[in-house]
Amino acid sequence: MKPVKNKFGKGLSGPDQQLNSWAERFENLLNRPPPYDLQDVSPVHTDLLIDCNPPSRKEIIAAIKLLRNNEPAGPDDISGEPLKTDPEVAANLLFPVFENIWAEERMSSDWRKGYLGKIPRKGI
């Protein structure tokens, strides 16, 4: 157990005290009345400009260029660096895949998976 402070700033040492403090904190945080009555809010009639066309090669290239370096690969074992070596070639390879996904409105269930890891900050 790591040290936890109560709402008055006093350190709590025992696990029971810490759990009670967390329970109280979330009880107060999550059990509040809504901030306003939603019936009083009038709807805004605005047409949003949303492009519903499949992604273009230019958009795929732009997305590839935004990939970060030194990121670990996900479940597909593809990191960003190989795609960034030649974004045009990567976009030409990915374009039919995205076009098929767009047309069928289905994608591989593997694409819904990801890794979540804790990365420590420097000095901690």
Are residue 64 and residue 20 in the same domain, yes or no? no
Tokens 């066309």 belong to which residue?
A: 53
Pairing between β-strand 4-5 and β-strand 11-12 as defined by DSSP bridges:
antiparallel
Q: How many domains does the chain have?
A: 2
Asked if 56 and 63 touch (Cβ cutoff 8 Å), the reply is no
Q: How confident is the model at residue 37 (pLDDT cuts 50, 70, 90)?
A: low
**pLDDT(124) > 60:** no
**pLDDT(99) > 70:** yes
49 within a domain of the structure (yes/no): no
97 within a domain of the structure (yes/no): yes
Q: How far apart are the first and last CA of the chain?
A: 17
48 within a domain of the structure (yes/no): no
| Average pLDDT value over all residues in the chain | 82
Domain that holds residue 72: 57-112
